[in-house]
Structure 1
Amino acid sequence: MAMASKKWLSFSFSFLLILLLLVGVYAAGVQQSNDGSDTRTVEKEQLLSSENSTMAVSLEDVEEKLSKHAVDDPEEVVAMVAQSIRNSTERRKLGYFSCGTGNPIDDCWRCDPNWQKNRKRLADCGIGFGRNAIGGRDGRYYVVTDNRDDDPVNPRPGTIRHAVIQEEPLWIVFSRDMVIQLKQELIMNSFKTIDARGYNVHIANGACLTIQFVTNIIIHGLHIHDCKPTGNAMVRSSTTHFGWRTMADGDAISIFGSSHVWVDHNSLSHCADGLVDAVMGSTAITISNNHFAHHNEVMLLGHSDSYTKDKQMQVTIAYNHFGEGLIQRMPRCRHGYFHVVNNDYTHWEMYAIGGSANPTINSQGNRYLAPANRFAKEVTKRVDTAAGQWKGWNWRSSGDLMLNGAYFTPSGAGASASYARASSLGAKSSSMVGAITSSAGPLACRRSRTC
């Protein structure tokens, strides 16, 4: 009896050891599969088992199948994943998932509740041909505290005129709401940002802004309206120079022989001449997120048909709202390359986009709502040019939404090189235009809140 009991115990112990060994092997296999160290072997076995049993499958065949799922540069994928994680984390911090609009400029900075402490971030949010305009990013802040413009030759410190003529880069902000009535053109020096976020700032009922022979200018958040012709007067353009100015036309913003200019989130209306004019070889310009209203000749881009230096001009017109009371020139182009993308055209009386002197116009993802007048349904107008000439101009409409009978008359052979020079960013679907342009014009930004 004792001998039988010993044999039973020996058998039980052996069985237990075998069971433990089997569990250990299984656990090791699970661990190996979970940590990915033998994933490639498992995948090979799966591929082999999935093949027809009558087909001879070599190891090389399996390796080839697996290689189709591989990437040429694994390090690049790692970097892409890391960047994606960083972007996602930063957007969560800024509340992007709750306030993002799909407008890439605004989504770059607006969701930050501390935007007023990070104002210069705006300079890194540009798009289009004017995307490299940094304004006064690398300079100090200058606070405008005085709305007066008593002396255009010797401006008071604390005024906007004193700020814009300085030689150094400046990021110009405001201490309060104000209306500035300029006696003469506000002639800006290079590397300046005018940033009106947080306050209601109007430049009105007098002269307006002149950007002449300078570079790196950002104009953001202003109400510019009722600009009048001025001139035949002495005006200071820098700390070391003032001179005689002849009559100014009364443009809201006049860009003359300048580059790297970004005009964003302004309201422009009721001026004596144009709302935004860019002439005399100006280039690298973005006009975005603005609200245009109550004006005849809205935007002139190109000095004259005979001024061929404007062939270098490249302008992006994006995310703007062309609203009530507009008649024509949204824009009117000459010679250069113009990307008109994701704008909302709700009003025009004559036409929306016009041109002469063989400009290249690339219209993408816009929403065009034609007026009731059946003779004004056409979006486009070739100005003072016979059809035999303009049929060769490269004008195209891609993904535009045409409403109420609106139509775009394309032309040209569609030369890829020409359109490449008139392309500055990826267009979003025209179905998104309403959301993208819903905040066009100055924003109602308040401290410690998303803008």
Structure 2
Amino acid sequence: MAVYSRLYLSLCSLLLVMVLVINATHGHSAEEAHEQFQSLKNSTMGSRLSEENVPNHEHAVDDPEMVVSMVDMSIRNSTERRKLGFFSCGTGNPIDDCWRCDRNWQRNRKRLAECAIGFGRNAIGGRDGKYYVVTDPNDDDPVNPRPGTLRHAVIQDRPLWIVFKRDMVITLKQELIMNSFKTIDGRGVNVHIANGACITVQFVTNIIIHGINIHDCKPTGNAMVRSSPGHYGWRTMADGDGISIFGSSHIWVDHNSLANCADGLIDAIMGSTAITISNNYFTHHNEVMLLGHSDSYVRDKIMQVTIAYNHFGEGLIQRMPRCRHGYFHVVNNDYTHWEMYAIGGSASPTINSQGNRYLAPANPFAKQVTHRVEQSEVWKHWNWRSEGDLMLNGAFFTPSGRGAAASYARASSLAAKSSSLVGSLTSNAGALSCHRGYQC
């Protein structure tokens, strides 16, 4: 009996040691993964030297290829954390896996500001300010907005994280002109900006627009509109874009649903840069996204935009996006509908398409993903490439330029992220339905 007792105690001791070793190893791995992710998020970007005689822009990044590689690193880290079981609800989408598994997301709303990737990854919005609760959906006076309205919130001179008291439909009389360091956060309620003017982001910085429905935007203008507590002025006619980004930087547009506007759903022009457009759901529109003002406006050479994890859905025709000049990383998006083409451009933009899923329409004359507004003798020198994309129903991407040149070298590892995963990466694109006390 004594022998069996000693043997039993020895086995128990051995099991205890093994449990302690396993826990220590797991804890160390989790800590290392967390530190690696935080290191990625906290690194900074310098100013990029513009080409030829184009003026410098303080928010253009020094090396766009490095940012593309950082996007890939975030995707890899997110996938590895999911494999290790750190997030039971993880999808491999690094933005969503950064915050959506938190049941207390409503108390930790500002964590979202740590989760952007790509060229707009440094957009902090109103992270460093107070919360502002919108209680009134009305927009009776664009010059003297009432406290509690969305317009009163976005024009303030201080950082603000703007949330909504309840579900609401906001019909704007004139453009909603945003001031710098603002977050519009529609999580937890159902907010529509619809049937009137929509959002203008002009000559500002650090804007996050998250979790709202934007649709049926109409041209407005020839009116006085306030843009800050101390300034209002005459606005000429606006085109009716869903979100118009004009001469602005550090902009992140994430998890919104956009449809059926008079002009573009999202347009970024006039030297805008450091932009990420992610996790959005686009439907029922002709000219979806314009990135670049005109072929002659060379200041748009500083433009750098990441387009990631979006779903380009039913009823879309063209411009997903349409690019000029600049540098555009199109990664892990789901293109399920287009009538003319998906990605277009002019004025020699650099377009890096990686890990997307392209489903061509039935029309045999619209199978090509790409469209160039130039003669082939000119566009054959533009750097456009497809790497790891999934082409369905006869879809094809016409590459050009230096497909294997140094301009793509630091982004080549992204091909390892299979386009077969695009369905799960984009399955929750658009405005989310989030409820207190539950994972969003």
Please indicate the TM-score interval, normalised by the length of the shorter structure: 0.7 to 0.9
Alignment deviations for residues 350-401 of structure 1 (CA, whole Å, 9 cap, x no partner):
0000000000000000000000000000000001x00000000000000000
Distance 1:81 1:330 in 2: 38
Secondary structure at the residue paired with 1:117? coil
- The answer (yes or no) to whether the contact 1:223–1:442 under 8 Å persists in 2 is yes
Distance 2:30 2:208 in 1: 34
Q: Which residue of structure 1 lines up, in the alignment, with residue 24 of structure 2? A: none
- The answer (yes or no) to whether the contact 2:186–2:211 under 8 Å persists in 1 is yes
How far residue 260 of structure 1 moved from its aligned partner, in angstroms, is: 0.3
Secondary structure at the residue paired with 1:296? strand
Q: Which residue of structure 1 lines up, in the alignment, with residue 421 of structure 2? A: 432
Letter in 2 for 1:189: N
Task: Establish whether residue 263 from structure 1 lines up as the match of residue 253 from structure 2.
Answer: yes
Q: Which residue of structure 1 lines up, in the alignment, with residue 136 of structure 2? A: 146
Distance 2:327 2:412 in 1: 8
- The answer (yes or no) to whether the contact 2:306–2:329 under 8 Å persists in 1 is yes
- The answer (yes or no) to whether the contact 2:355–2:415 under 8 Å persists in 1 is no
Secondary structure at the residue paired with 1:203? strand
Alignment deviations for residues 281-318 of structure 1 (CA, whole Å, 9 cap, x no partner):
00000000000000000000000000000001000000
Secondary structure at the residue paired with 2:421? helix
Q: Which residue of structure 1 lines up, in the alignment, with residue 361 of structure 2? A: 371
Task: Establish whether residue 213 from structure 1 lines up as the match of residue 203 from structure 2.
Answer: yes
- The answer (yes or no) to whether the contact 2:87–2:97 under 8 Å persists in 1 is no
How far residue 429 of structure 1 moved from its aligned partner, in angstroms, is: 1.2
Higher relative contact order (CA 8 A, sep 6+): 2
How far residue 419 of structure 1 moved from its aligned partner, in angstroms, is: 3.1
Higher gyration radius (CA): 1
Moved over 4 A (4+): 78-82, 85-88, 420-427
Work out which of the residue numbers 112, 117, 139 in structure 2 matches 1:127.
Answer: 117
> What does 1:275-354 align with in structure 2 at a 5 Å threshold?
275-354=265-344
Letter in 1 for 2:408: Y
Alignment deviations for residues 180-210 of structure 1 (CA, whole Å, 9 cap, x no partner):
0000000000000000000000000000000
Task: Establish whether residue 233 from structure 1 lines up as the match of residue 206 from structure 2.
Answer: no
Q: Give TM-score, length-normalised by structure 1.
A: 0.79
How far residue 347 of structure 1 moved from its aligned partner, in angstroms, is: 0.2
- The answer (yes or no) to whether the contact 1:364–1:397 under 8 Å persists in 2 is yes
Q: 1:192 to 1:423 in 2, by over 3 A?
A: farther
Q: Aligned residues: percent identity?
A: 81
Q: 1:214 to 1:387 in 2, by over 3 A?
A: same
Letter in 1 for 2:111: R
Root-mean-square deviation (CA, aligned residues, Å) is 2.3
Distance 1:422 1:153 in 2: 47
Work out which of the residue numbers 171, 178, 193 in structure 1 matches 2:168.
Answer: 178
Work out which of the residue numbers 138, 150, 153 in structure 2 matches 1:163.
Answer: 153
Q: 1:187 to 1:98 in 2, by over 3 A?
A: same
- The answer (yes or no) to whether the contact 2:218–2:240 under 8 Å persists in 1 is yes
- The answer (yes or no) to whether the contact 2:179–2:228 under 8 Å persists in 1 is yes
Q: Which residue of structure 2 lines up, in the alignment, with residue 38 of structure 1? A: none
Task: Establish whether residue 413 from structure 1 lines up as the match of residue 388 from structure 2.
Answer: no
Distance 1:422 1:295 in 2: 31
Secondary structure at the residue paired with 1:184? coil
Q: Which runs of 5+ in 2 are unaligned?
A: 1-16, 18-26, 38-76
Letter in 1 for 2:110: K
Letter in 1 for 2:119: F
Distance 2:413 2:160 in 1: 27
